[in-house]
């Protein structure tokens, strides 16, 4: 059994959607809770069973009612679990926290939430393990973590417990001390933040909260008190740039309690781990930033330790502190020292690459005491970072890709700020570094080296595109690189595209494309391979997009390629090659200088149309030639335009549906999609099928045995037929008033049913009565389901349309069928089957189960309920009011038996079923019909 659960939980966590396609969240959750309640189950397995609730609480508890019931059940399991199973109890607290906090509104799970909060506070205050078993201490640590999670999600939840948390922190001598300190700091920060939003809040309110020890105000009519007021979402950081603002709480000089609490926390912070110290200092920095009466110099005693730290988390917190307080806390000497440390750390050989990249990013976003720029996101160097100081970060070819690019970008900014453009030694070094990378790529560098080189080129152009001497040389070197390695064509095209996008005023990309066109057209065709030609055509296609580049050289190159006497490249009649040539021609058809190149372009197209070996290429070339020779320039540009002005694509239904390389084959859509549903299926009355006569053999077997024998008959088809009216929706569109040849397609959302056949409806007219559609369901498992429905139909104008209908929800009661027994058996035979099934279910285990449902109903109401909902399934005499017997058959072979009787205190529904997984659905159904 344990191994089965291990496999099921692993399957669920691996792919929840795939796992739930074979069952439902309600059934799986019921199975989990049932196993967790079982005292015989191994507790290691129970810990595993809690993982689905921890990782996917919203999936298993989709509604607030389910979440609340699950939380109450888990709390009951916690109360009954032995104290020695600490790991299981700790994981149970985590699961409870996940279930209760997966809802955005805590008030929706009101009953369980305050009880669980009280439980966590009791566990946090239980200090009986101070001198005892350390294992029990882990339960307190988990409780503290759960409280911190809930306080983070619902700010102000523990606002009345600040004094208690401080007392727990002072008396704790174990490692839990920092957990209590972190929780107290978070609550303190949230309290101050929430008070900043109150108009009349001041020192008195803050003092009351710091010294209060009242119970948490959880009352339903107060909507969860302060926790569910204005701020029910986690609070974001309040630390902004020095140019920004933070919410403030004006307390005046009287805030001794707050100052005392802050000092106490700061004095103990050095005892914590680096991560805990960083979190505590960050929260306290937010508090001091929001209370102007507390001077930032309260951190002065910690500053010396922070400036000398080598911990990433603490150094980051120091930078955030500097961003919040600037010269109120940090002197100019502190600023210079901190910047130098960042430079040292950025190239320290003992640090990992991610750490060094982080330090370089800190330099680019260094919070200065007196910043010149107020930009928040753009990279800006600090004034104190001089070329001499940054020289330690010069990139070298031995750096990894990320480090090299980060250093290259940083040094580019440094030399740009220093004004080293024409004669600067730093800029010369960067260009020499680019040249070194170029040599590596030329000699056959790996893909990472190639990508690094082109990214470095882009960075260089981004900062120094105005330095013509270097940029012109760079273009020439890139052209030579392309001739040696034509496979770099996509990199060069992308470089040109990105440069034009980022530097719209620069002409460098235009010059590069023009130079590439020149070197390609001047290359002897005898030296061009078929693969090189495919890359050349891509570059020429991109160059043809530039209206300022003359295209005579491109046409001469194309003419040479397709002429057999000059080149043998087109002799293979390769479709891809022909498509590449057509792609260049298509760009040339919309080129601004089309008038000057019309004759050579027409010659190329005419030659392709008459001599190219591929039929498809000849057809498209003939089409292009026809367009070129028959349409005016304006009409030709309109037909072939990719996009209209404003970026919206032109609707093309005839000549514009042309195939070119990179665009794929575009054709006229033969099936149109409707914007909304045109018609829908409405459930109508469904008559139950009549039972077939069962043939009894000569031995006159018993009714139950004869009844069960039919399940082995291959002709026995256990199915449910649902009938619907196919009718138009309320939204009227005259195009769809008369529909023909409607084909309905049904898609399953789970594995509980066999695949459904498509249904055909001849026609649907709005002014005529709606046709009836019969849908036959063949259940594999008798569970509720949802069906996706779509349809294809034809309108009066001959167009074919596709539409999506609203989903069909198959409820649990819709798959009820009467007992499939012959009418000749009469009431006596059905009662015998009922009695036999009840006795069989009561005496077996495994899939069988029984249950009891109780409710308060008057005798008349009970009779009306039975007559309304259970009359077709009644096997007892309706005149006998003392007990009703109901037998529900659920295809393919499941049964639900009900004995309904009025007792002294309530109406009892005694339930027996040969499939216990149906009990949750039965319970929901009975709740629904008895409530109405």
Query: 208-228, pLDDT tens digit by residue?
Result: 777 754 443 333 233 334 433
Report the pLDDT value the prediction gives residue 566, as an integer from 0 to 100.
62
pLDDT digit string, tens, across residues 261-297 = 999 999 999 889 999 999 999 999 999 999 988 999 9
User: What's CA 529's distance to the chain center, in Å?
Assistant: 47
User: Is residue 647 predicted with pLDDT exceeding 70?
Assistant: no
Provide the pLDDT for residue 412: 92
Q: Residue 615 pLDDT > 90, yes or no?
A: no
Confidence of residue 2 (pLDDT cuts 50, 70, 90): low
DSSP one-letter string for 445-514:
--HHHHHHHHHHHHHHHHHHTT-HHHHHHHHHHHHHHHHH-GGGHHHHHHHHHHHHHH-TT--HHHHHHH
pLDDT, average across residues 241-265: 79
Instruction: Give the pair of three-digit tokens for residue 916.
Output: 């216990």
Supply 668's token pair.
Answer: 């006229």
Could you give the 3-state DSSP secondary structure of residue 369? coil
Count the neighbouring beta carbons within 10 Å of the beta carbon of residue 182: 22
Domain-wise residue ranges, the chain: 1-154, 186-213+245-294, 550-641, 673-687+699-811, 827-931
Sign of CA dihedral 865, 868, 869, 871: positive
- Model confidence at 420, in pLDDT bands (50, 70, 90)? low
| Section 553-576 average pLDDT | 79
pLDDT, mean over the chain: 84
* Range ranked top by mean pLDDT from 405-409, 666-670, 699-703: 405-409
pLDDT of residue 770: 93
pLDDT in tens, 57-82: 999 998 888 888 999 999 999 999 99
pLDDT at residue 236, as a whole number: 67
Indicate whether 650 pLDDT > 50: no
Residue 514 has pLDDT above 90, yes or no: yes
User: Per residue in 690-723, pLDDT tens?
Assistant: 544 444 443 344 677 878 777 777 666 678 899 9
Q: Is the pLDDT of residue 157 over 90?
A: no
pTM, whole model, 2 decimals? 0.67
Fold of the CATH domain 827-931: TATA-Binding Protein (3.30.310)
Summarised one tens digit per residue, pLDDT across range 335-370 is 999 999 999 999 999 999 999 999 999 999 999 888
Quote the pLDDT of residue 728.
93
Confidence at residue 224, expressed as pLDDT on a 0 to 100 scale: 32
Q: What is the pLDDT of residue 477?
A: 95
For residue range 290-339, list pLDDT tens digits in order.
998 899 999 999 998 899 999 999 999 999 999 999 999 999 999 999 99
Query: Quick one: average pLDDT of 821-834?
Result: 81
Q: Which CATH number fits domain 1-154: 1.10.260, 1.10.3470, 2.60.120, 1.20.870?
A: 1.20.870
- Tell me, what's the pLDDT at 561? 87
Whole-angstrom Cα distance, residue 129 to residue 143? 14
Whole-number pLDDT of residue 142: 94
Tell me the C-alpha distance between 318 and 306, whole Å: 7
Task: Check residue 503 and give its pLDDT.
Answer: 93
Q: What are phi and psi of 869, to 5 degrees?
A: -110, -25
Check whether 741 has a pLDDT greater than 70: yes
Instruction: Say which DSSP state 860 is in.
Output: H
673-687+699-811 under CATH 2.60.420, yes or no: no
Confidence grade of residue 612 (pLDDT, cut at 50, 70, 90):
confident
Tokens describing residue 541: 């296609």
What pLDDT, in 10s, does the model give residues 100-114?
A: 988 766 555 557 788
Q: Cβ atoms within 10 A of the Cβ of 741, count?
A: 12
């Amino acid at each position: 059994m344990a191994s089965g659960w291990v496999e099921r939980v692993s399957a669920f966590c691996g792919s929840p959607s795939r796992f739930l396609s074979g069952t439902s969240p309600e059934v799986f959750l019921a199975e989990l809770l049932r196993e967790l309640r079982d005292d015989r189950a191994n507790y290691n397995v129970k810990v595993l069973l809690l993982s689905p609730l921890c990782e996917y609480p919203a999936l298993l508890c989709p509604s607030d009612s389910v979440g609340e019931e699950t939380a109450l059940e888990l709390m009951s399991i916690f109360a009954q679990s032995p104290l020695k199973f600490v790991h299981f109890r700790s994981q149970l607290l985590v699961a409870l926290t996940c279930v209760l906090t997966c809802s955005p509104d805590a008030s929706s799970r009101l009953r369980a939430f305050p009880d669980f909060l009280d439980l966590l506070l009791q566990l946090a205050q239980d200090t009986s393990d101070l001198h005892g078993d350390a294992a029990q201490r882990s339960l307190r640590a988990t409780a503290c973590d759960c409280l911190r999670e809930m306080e983070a999600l619902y700010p102000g939840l523990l606002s009345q417990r600040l004094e208690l948390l401080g007392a727990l922190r002072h008396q704790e001598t174990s490692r839990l001390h920092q957990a209590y300190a972190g929780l107290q700091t978070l609550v303190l920060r949230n309290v101050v933040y929430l008070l900043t939003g109150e108009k009349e809040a001041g020192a008195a309110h803050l003092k009351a909260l710091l010294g209060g020890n009242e119970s948490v105000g959880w009352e339903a009519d107060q909507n969860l008190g302060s926790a569910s007021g204005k701020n029910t979402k986690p609070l974001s950081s309040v630390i902004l740039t020095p140019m920004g603002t933070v919410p403030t709480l004006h307390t005046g000089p009287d805030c001794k309690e707050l100052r005392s609490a802050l000092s106490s926390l700061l004095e103990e912070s050095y005892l914590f781990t680096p991560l805990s110290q960083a979190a505590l200092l960050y929260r306290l920095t937010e508090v001091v930033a929001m209370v102007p009466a507390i001077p930032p110099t309260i951190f002065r005693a910690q500053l010396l330790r922070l400036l000398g730290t080598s911990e990433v988390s603490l150094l980051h917190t120091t930078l955030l502190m500097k961003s919040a307080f600037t010269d109120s806390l940090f002197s100019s000497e502190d600023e210079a020292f901190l910047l130098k440390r960042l430079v040292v750390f950025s190239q320290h050989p003992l640090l990992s690459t991610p750490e060094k990249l982080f330090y370089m990013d800190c330099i680019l976003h260094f919070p200065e005491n007196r910043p010149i720029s107020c930009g928040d996101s753009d990279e800006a160097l600090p004034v104190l970072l001089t070329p001499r100081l940054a020289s330690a970060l010069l990139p070298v070819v031995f750096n990894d890709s990320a480090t090299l690019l980060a250093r290259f970008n940083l040094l580019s900014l440094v030399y740009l700020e220093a004004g080293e453009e024409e004669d600067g030694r730093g800029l010369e070094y960067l260009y020499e570094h680019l040249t070194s990378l170029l040599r590596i790529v030329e000699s056959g560098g790996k893909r990472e080296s190639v990508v690094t080189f082109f990214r470095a080129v882009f960075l260089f152009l981004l900062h120094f595109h105005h330095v013509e001497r270097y940029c012109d040389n760079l273009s020439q070197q890139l052209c030579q690189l392309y001739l040696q390695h034509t496979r770099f064509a996509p990199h060069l095209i992308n470089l040109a595209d990105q440069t034009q996008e980022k530097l719209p005023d620069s002409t460098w990309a235009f010059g590069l494309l023009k130079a590439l066109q020149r070197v390609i057209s001047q290359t002897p065709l005898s030296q061009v391979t078929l693969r090189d030609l495919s890359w050349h055509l891509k570059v020429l296609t991109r160059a043809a997009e530039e209206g300022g580049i003359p295209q005579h050289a491109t046409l001469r190159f194309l003419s040479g390629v397709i002429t057999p006497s000059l080149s043998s490249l087109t002799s293979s009649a390769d479709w891809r090659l022909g498509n590449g040539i057509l792609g260049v021609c298509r760009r040339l058809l919309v080129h601004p200088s089309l008038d000057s190149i019309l004759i050579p372009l027409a010659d190329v197209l005419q030659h392709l149309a008459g001599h190219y070996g591929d039929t498809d290429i000849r057809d498209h070339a003939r089409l292009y030639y026809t367009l070129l020779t028959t349409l005016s320039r304006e009409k030709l540009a309109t037909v072939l335009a990719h996009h209209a002005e404003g970026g919206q694509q032109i609707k093309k239904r005839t000549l514009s549906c042309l195939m070119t390389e990179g665009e794929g084959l575009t054709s006229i859509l033969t099936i149109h999609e409707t914007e909304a549903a045109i018609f829908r299926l409405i459930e109508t009355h469904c008559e139950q099928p009549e039972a077939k006569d069962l043939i009894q053999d000569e031995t006159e077997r018993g009714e139950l045995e004869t009844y069960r024998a039919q399940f082995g008959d291959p002709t026995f088809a256990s199915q449910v037929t649902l009938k619907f009216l196919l009718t138009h929706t309320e939204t009227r569109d005259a195009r769809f008033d008369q529909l023909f040849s409607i084909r309905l397609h049904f898609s399953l959302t789970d594995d509980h049913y066999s695949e459904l056949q498509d249904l055909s409806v001849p026609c649907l007219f709005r002014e005529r009565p709606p046709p009836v559609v019969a849908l036959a369901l063949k259940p594999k498992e008798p569970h509720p389901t949802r069906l996706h429905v779509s349809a294809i139909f034809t309108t009066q104008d001959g167009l074919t349309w596709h539409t999506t209908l609203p989903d069909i929800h198959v409820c649990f009661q819709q798959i009820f069928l009467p007992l499939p027994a012959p009418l000749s058996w009469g009431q006596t035979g059905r009662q015998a089957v009922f009695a036999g099934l009840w006795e069989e279910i009561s005496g077996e285990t495994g899939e069988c189960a029984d249950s009891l449902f109780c409710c308060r109903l008057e005798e008349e109401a009970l009779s009306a309920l039975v007559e309304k909902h259970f009359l077709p399934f009644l096997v007892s005499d309706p005149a006998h009011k003392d007990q009703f017997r109901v037998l529900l058959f659920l295809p393919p072979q499941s049964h639900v038996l009900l004995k309904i009787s009025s007792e002294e205190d309530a109406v009892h529904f005694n339930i027996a079923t040969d499939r216990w997984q149906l009990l949750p659905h039965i319970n929901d159904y009975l709740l629904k019909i008895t409530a109405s």
